[in-house]
Every structure is written in structure tokens, then in C-alpha cells.
A and B are shown apart, each in its own frame.
Chain A
Amino acid sequence: MALTTPVRTDRPAHGVVLQDVRRTFATAAGTRPVLRGVDLELHAGEIVALVGPSGCGKSTLLRQVSGLDTPDGGRVLLDGTPVAGIDRRTAVAFQEPRLLPWRTLAANVALGLPRGTPKDAGRARVAELLRLVGLGESADLRPRQVSGGMAQRASLARALARNPGVLLLDEPFGALDALTRLRMQDLLLDVHAAEPATVLLVTHDVEEALYLADRVLLLRSLAGGAEDLGSVARVIDVPGRRPRDRADHRLAELRAELLEGLGVATHHVRPGDPDAHHSI
């Protein structure tokens, strides 16, 4: 299908490089390492999912890239220049929609517009984004008047309004019901096709990671020893092109691997496995 007008070309997706990133939190019981030795390169325009046990620093890693938090050691670079403070090249969508309850959805999305956007251009852009996430007719509703899924889509539109080169999603669908989550995943892929930013996605849902991402990063928890190990336990290239078949058997294999990496028993029977004696 031909495009009637080109999608935005003024905003390139950014590559992200993390070099030996370290982050330690001070707690009452002393210091607790959360991230250690994170070396990572995200290519411009790719979707990378972060999975790992709870408390392993997934969200903390995301916050280093957004500038909401600063690493204790190492560097975070966007297209070669370091992230310092809240970086306008990135935009975040959180697990909760975090919309301002006294503003309409349109006004909430407008909050994401870069500063100094002319009024008319801003209004047109907000309307375009609301249509993109399927909220074209809900622009004037308040957050409390819409469902959780709609609020989360407005939150995504607000992040996109920033024209981010890097889109940071912190468990964006985690609080939604299973069916809504599946629809949101497809919506994200549509959005990524229309507004191709580099996407870093934190999720606790292994299937979601495999369905959406080009690569999946498995983080390990640094709690309890393992002094010499870095935070990144594995990097998995996900085969196939999007949109993927959710039932793809290769994904099932990876899913079993990832769940094992997360310490979950999968009861998975590999084809050709000598123990596969139940097959008829």
C-alpha cells in the first residue's frame, strides 16, 4: 500500500550504547547492587525486550537510558552523545498510564509535544497520534472516563508526541487484561511501523517479548552473591519477521529456554528428546 504522505522523516531512530553501566542503591541494610557491567548496543529502529526476575533491575536499566536516573559508573550514549538529565530524544511510557486526571486525553497527549511546537502544528500532531492509537473519537474524554486499555494507549500517544528517537516502555501492558494486552501488542507493532523509533521494552511476559522483539535480553538478579557476574545473563536473537505467528514452534523453544533462565519449570518436551516417550 502506498503512503498518501510520508511518515515523519525528520526524526531518525537513535542507536543506544551502554558501556559498563553500574547502578547501586543505598538501603538500610547497606548498598545493594542492581546493575553491573551492562554492555549493550541497540541498533537504530530495533525492538529489544528486557526480561528477568523481579528486582533484577529491568526498570532501572530503562531509567538510565531515559535520564530519569543516572548510573554510578559507565556511560549511556544516544547516537554517540551521552545522556545527561532528562533526554529529549527519548520518551517513556510507564506501566500505569500516569495521565493527568484533570486534562482531556488530547491535552495529556499534548504534554508530550516538544517545547516550542507551534499551536496549530501541535494540535494536528495530537489528533494524528490519537487516530493512530485508535482514540480519535475520545480526544475530549478525561482519563477517568476511559478504560485502562484506552488510558494506556493515550500514554503511548503522549510518548510518541515527543518524536522520540528511542521509545522506552516500562511494562506498558502489564496491568491490562490478557485479551487487551494481545491487542495492544499488535497496536505497538503498527505504531512502530508508522513511527519507527528504537524501542526498549521491559516486560515480565516472555511470550510478549518473543512476539514483539528483535532481540530479548535476559537479566539476572544480582541479589545473593555472584560477585563477578554482570547483569546481562543472555541475549537472544528472535528468529522470523514481524508480525510473528504466536504459535511458531521456534518461539516455543526459546520460550522454554527463557522461562528456564527465569527459574520457572516449563515441563517442555523437546522434539527428538530421548525422554519424549509420550508422543504417539
Chain B
Amino acid sequence: MTDHVAGTGTGPVTDRAGRPLRALNPFDAMRGADAAPAGAAAPGRARGGFWSRRVVRVVGGALLPLLLLAVWHAVTAGGLVPPYQLPAPASVWDAALDLLARGQLQTHVAISVQRVLIGFVTGAAVGLVLGSLVGLSRAADVLLAPLLGAVRAVPSLAWVPLLILWLKIGEESKVTLIAIGAFFPVYTTVAAALRHVDPHLVEAGRAFGLRGVRLLQTVQLPAVLPSVLSGLRLALAQAWLFLVAAELIASSMGLGFLLNDSQNSGRVDRILLAIVLLALLGKLSDSLVALGERALLRRYA
């Protein structure tokens, strides 16, 4: 055994002359020059620039909605549009306060949010599992992909009669419809992304003894994380879409029911209220997922 390099657990690694081994490897001196500075994670987006400041982003994003509100107020106050077609923002606000006082608004929002959450989580979980299966296994791809592709082609509303027949007009039928809506974006993006994971990385993982679930956890899932996250955001949007479809047709509670009920009773203010609430809830939930997405990507990408 030669002894000119001593790698020990405690002392410094030294070369033949007893100098630290680093001196043998002048790469370290080069590091400052050719290594990207840590922290500059997203070049071209971060750093300076008027449009990338946080204040500008928040105020800028609120600008058009506020303008829209002002225009809405102006056309209704000026008598340009009759109130039975477009009520004033103030009367929509009053409708909200009225429903709140009756305790109905809370119920509608709560039940809709609950349905979206349960449906989204269920559909996304099944999508993640089946997407992983189809993306990783050629057999699953051959057996499952065509069927799922065909199921995906069925428009959402076509499921409603069957779901009502099988699951009755209860929570199950609505949540199932929402889960179907949330399933496909996750399934599709995960399966496609897994097929395109760098085979070199996968082989390196295998070479170091990783197999099956451990290989999936260590190499493949982190590699497809950005796709999975954008799939999840799409799925959430789909969940809200399918929620309204489900509630419009058969329900006694929820924002979709509020829409339908208000149409029948001619309460345009409540219709507008439901639409505004759907917009706000959808944007809010998307922003929450986006926050989680940013935190995860900072850690993994």
C-alpha cells in the first residue's frame, strides 16, 4: 500500500509533501471564476427590473380588476344598462351581506370548497399512481393508456346521468365527478414526464443499487416534480370547473346551486355574486398551490 495520500476521518488530507491535498488540485482556485454564484437561481427573472418588484406585481395585478369594477359601477350608476340585466356592484355586495346574515353564503362556500378539496385530492392521488404506473411500465402503458385516453375523451357532463344513477344525488356523485376532472391533468403530465426522465440519471441510480420504489423516490419523482406540480395546478382548475357542472345539475347547496337557484328566481345580483366568488376562490386556491410549488422547486430544482 502506498502512502502518499492519507485520507483520514479527522485530519486534513495531505499529499506526498504533507501539503493539504487541495493544493494538488487547483480546481478550487477556479471555483470563483467558473461556478455560478449561489442564489442567482432564476437569471433573467429575478434581480432589478421594474416589473419584477413585489409591490409592482401586487398592485399591477389588482389594477385591471379594479378598473373593471369602476367601469361596472359607472355603467350601472349612469343607467346605461338596466339593473335586471346588470345590477350595480353595490347591490351584489348587499346580496352577499344578506345571504351572510341568513347564514346561507357560508354554507354554500364551505360545501363547495369541501367538495373541491376531497375531489381534487382523490383524483390527483389516483392520477399520480396511475400516471407513475403508465410512465414507468411498458406493460401498463400498453394495457392502460388506450382505455384511459378514451375515458378522457368523454365530456364531463356526459358522466352526470350515470353518476346520479349509480351513486344517487349525494355527495359521492359530485365528488366523483370532480375527482374525474382532477385525475386527468395529473395522470397525463406525470405519465408523459416519467417517460422522458434522463435515462442517464436513471441508470446512475440503478448502478448505485436503487430499484423500484426507492428509484422512483430518489431519481424519477424529483426529476418530474416540476411537471407534477403544473399538473396539480391544472387539476385544481379542472376541479372547480367540474364542481360547477356537478352542482348545477343536482344539488341543494353550493355555489353551483346558488347559480342555478338564482337563475330560476331571477336574482341576477346573486348570479354575479356566485361568479365573483368562484373567481376569487379559484384564484386563491391556485395561489396557495403556487406558493407550495415555489417552495418545493426551490428545494428540488
Chain A residues with CB under 8 Å of chain B are: 1-5, 7, 66, 68, 86, 88, 91-92, 94, 96, 98, 100-102, 111-112, 115, 124-125, 128-129, 131-134, 136-138, 141, 144-147, 149-150, 153, 158, 162, 180, 183, 186-187, 190-191, 193-196
Contact = CB atoms under 8 A, between A and B. Distances in A.
B2 A193 contact: yes
A183 B21 CA distance: 12
Nearest to A133: B25
A111 B208 CA distance: 7
A96 B200 CA distance: 9
Contacts of A150: 27, 31, 35
B27 A5 contact: no
A134 B28 contact: yes
B168 interface: no
B1 interface: yes
Interface of B: 1-16, 18, 21-22, 24-28, 30-31, 34-38, 200-201, 203-210, 218-219, 222, 225, 299-301
Contacts of B209: 86, 88, 115
B1 to A, nearest CB: 6
Given A115-B209, A162-B208, A134 B27 contact: yes
A88 B210 CA distance: 11
Given A7-B6, A138-B31, A141-B38, A131 B18 contact: no
Contact of B8 (A3, A112, A133, A196): A3
A128 B9 contact: yes
A94 B173 CA distance: 53
B207 A183 contact: no
Given A86-B209, A131-B12, A190-B4, A101 B301 contact: yes
Contacts of A91: 207-208
Contacts of A66: 207
Contact of B204 (A3, A4, A94, A144): A94
Contacts of B21: 131-132, 134, 190
Contacts of B8: 3-5, 7, 128
Nearest to B40: A145
B281 to A, nearest CB: 32
Residue among A2, A101, A131, A183 having the largest count of chain B Cβ atoms under 10 Å? A131
Contacts of A3: 3, 6, 8
A264 to B, nearest CB: 29
B207 A147 contact: no
A108 B287 CA distance: 32
B32 to A, nearest CB: 11
B269 to A, nearest CB: 50
Contacts of A134: 21-22, 24-25, 27-28
Contacts of B300: 102
